[in-house]
Amino acid sequence: MSRLNLLMLNYEFPPIGGGAANAHLCLLKQYTNHDELKIDVLTSAPQPGFASESLSEKITIYKVGVHKKQLHYWRKIEIIEWLLRADFHYRKMLRQKNYDLVHAFFGFPTGWLCYRTANRLPYVISLRGSDVPGQHARLAVDYKLLGPLFKRIWKKASALVACSEGLKTRALRFLPSVTIDVIPNGVDSERFFPLGKKLPSDELKLITVGRLSVTKRIEILIDAVDILIKQGYKVRFLIIGGGAAEDSLRRSITEKNLTPFIELTGRMEPERVPDFYRSSDIYVSATMQEGMSNAMLEAMASGLPIVTTNYEGAEELIANNGIIVEQAGAEQIAEAIKQLADDYNRREQLSIEARKRAEQFTWKKVADKYLECYQEVLKVSIGSKP
């Protein structure tokens, strides 16, 4: 490919944020050895100020600091603060550097920045999940108020990319007139791997990982574990993650006398997470909606069968490697877990298939697909110039 000077925007980036932040970092790591690429990233930091750091010789991360209270939860005032501060640095960077295009993670708030300079620079938007109107109770009013702006931002984009077919379907319900490509997430199969065949045990170890928001419906999983305990199953449930729902979930665990069986760790350093996947038996989820779950891919790569609710696009990850529960209820999830608890051989077969399926999702494939997307956008952009 010809030399490309790329600006990337993401209002969250590790340690801030969840799946999209992690996906962005994994994508950048794939580009560290591309001599044809020069990449600047404009993102956020948890304290006020402006700083830069180098990911590699040709990749620089610029961080616009805000008054952040929680790393995994964005208050509206924090988003507004970041937009105002980032807009200044974004325009300054455009004046000082000769970028070929902008790639924004999330249609909003980051997409708003490049939308306003669309007449000068083409932009690509990666739709990630919460930026696509859907069943997110906390954002219902925001979707109504900002929906018309979302549509304008999407229509001006040179390319729209969803991270799953399910998210694409949701996005097209919102705006049927646009074209949306799909580039799924990847997983690092060298970092996330199974230890091998697990020996049968009386205790079943369940795990879920992610930002603790209302859309994850962790309360349903807690109730499912309560059902299993009362039916005589020996269960340990590990919840890894922090977020807005953390305090209420801790209270619920205590009130239901489940502290001997359920551990909520809060936010955990990413380096520690793979070992917890490997020591678990089943990954469980009651999610309401997803773009494409990084945590689920990581669990699959670690050889874990999946029990999940039937969110949009679940079938893209789950086939013969888990169970999709049609009705999002504690009883139904408990029943699915019992099926695997009572059938060790089936659980082992699903574990093998989970690893095989995860190996189809590599970050190299993701990176190559985005390079193709960039090249196509530039080809059209150059061809349209007088």
Q: Is residue 191 part of a domain?
A: no
- Residue 193 belongs to some domain of the structure: no
pLDDT exceeds 90 at position 131: no
Please check whether residues 348 and 207 belong to one and the same domain.
yes
Instruction: Show the domain range for 78.
Output: 4-186+362-384
- Tens of pLDDT, residue by residue over 68-96, are 988 877 888 999 999 999 999 999 999 99
Lowest mean pLDDT among 56-65, 239-248, 330-339, 369-378: 239-248
Please tell me whether residues 151 and 239 are part of one structural domain.
no
Task: Indicate if 282 and 368 belong to the same structural domain.
Answer: no
Same domain, 217 and 349: yes
Same domain, 257 and 341: yes
pLDDT higher than 70, residue 385? no
**What does pLDDT average to over the chain?**
92
Per-residue pLDDT band for 382 (boundaries 50, 70, 90) equals: low
Same domain for 366 and 310? no
Indicate whether 273 pLDDT > 80. yes
Are 40 and 13 spatial neighbours (Cβ–Cβ below 8 Å)?
no
Whether the pLDDT of residue 29 is over 50: the answer is: yes
136 within 8 A of 101, measured Cβ to Cβ: no
14 with 160, same domain: the answer is yes
Is 114 inside any structural domain? yes
Residue 138's pLDDT band (cuts 50, 70, 90): low
pLDDT at 2: 73
User: Which secondary structure element, helix H or strand E, spans residue 284, and what is its range?
Assistant: strand 282-285
> Partners of 40 in the beta sheet?
7, 60
pLDDT top residue among 292 and 317:
317
Mark whether 161 and 222 lie in a shared domain.
no
Residues 302 and 255: their CA atoms lie apart, in Å, by 33
Q: Is residue 17 part of a domain?
A: yes
Looking at the structure, tell me whether residues 174 and 35 fall in a common domain.
Answer: yes
Residue 50: which of 61, 35, 34 has the closest Cα? Answer: 61
Q: What pLDDT score does 383 carry?
A: 57
Within a 10 A sphere around the Cβ of 328, how many other Cβ atoms?
16
Report which DSSP code applies to 257: T
Task: Output the DSSP codes for 144-169.
Answer: HHHHHHHHHHHHH-SEEEESSHHHHH
DSSP string, 99-118: -SEEEEESTTTHHHHHHTTT
Is the distance from CB of 237 to CB of 225 less than 8 angstroms? yes
Q: Which residues of 336-356 are buried (b: 16+ CB within 10 A; e: fewer)?
A: bbbebbeeeeebbebbebbbe
Classify the C-alpha dihedral 10-16-19-21 as positive or negative.
positive
Give the tokens for residue 157.
Answer: 């984009």
For residues 35 and 172, state if they share a domain. yes
Provide Rg for the chain, Cα atoms: 21
Residue 89 or residue 312, greater confidence: 89
pLDDT of 142 higher than 90: no
For a pLDDT cut of 70, what percent of the chain falls above it?
97
Window from 21-25, 241-245, 300-304 with minimum mean pLDDT: 241-245
Residue 160 belongs to a domain: yes
Single-letter residue type at 293? S
Q: What percent of the chain has pLDDT over 90?
A: 75
So what's the pLDDT on residue 386?
Answer: 46
Assess whether 296 and 263 both reside in one domain: yes
Q: Domain tally for the chain?
A: 2
Lowest mean pLDDT, pick from 213-217, 273-277, 302-306, 371-375? 213-217
Hey, which of 98-112, 135-149, 197-211 has the most confident mean pLDDT?
98-112
CATH of the domain at 81: 3.40.50.2000
Tell me the C-alpha distance between 152 and 148, whole Å. 7
Same domain, 124 and 248: no
3-state SS track over 179-223: CEEECCCCCCCCCCCCCCCCCCCCEEEEEEECCCCHHHCHHHHHH
> pTM of the predicted model, to two decimals?
0.85
pLDDT at residue 357 in the model? 95
CA torsion through residues 301, 210, 275, 26, sign? positive
What is the residue type of 1? Answer: M
* Section 286-307 average pLDDT: 91
Q: Rounded to an integer, what distance in angstroms lies between the CA atom of residue 55 and that of residue 188? A: 18
Please name the amino acid found at residue 320.
N
Judged against a pLDDT cut of 60, whether residue 229 lies above it is answered with: yes
Confidence band of 265 (pLDDT split at 50, 70, 90): very high
pLDDT at 214: 85
- Residue 117 forms part of a structural domain: yes
Model pLDDT, residue 384: 56
Does residue 147 fall inside a structural domain?
yes
Distance between start and end Cα atoms, the chain: 23
The structure tokens listed for 268 are: 């955990």
Kindly tell me if the per-residue pLDDT of 154 is higher than 90: yes
Residue 197 lies in a domain: no
Mean pLDDT, residues 220-236 taken together: 96
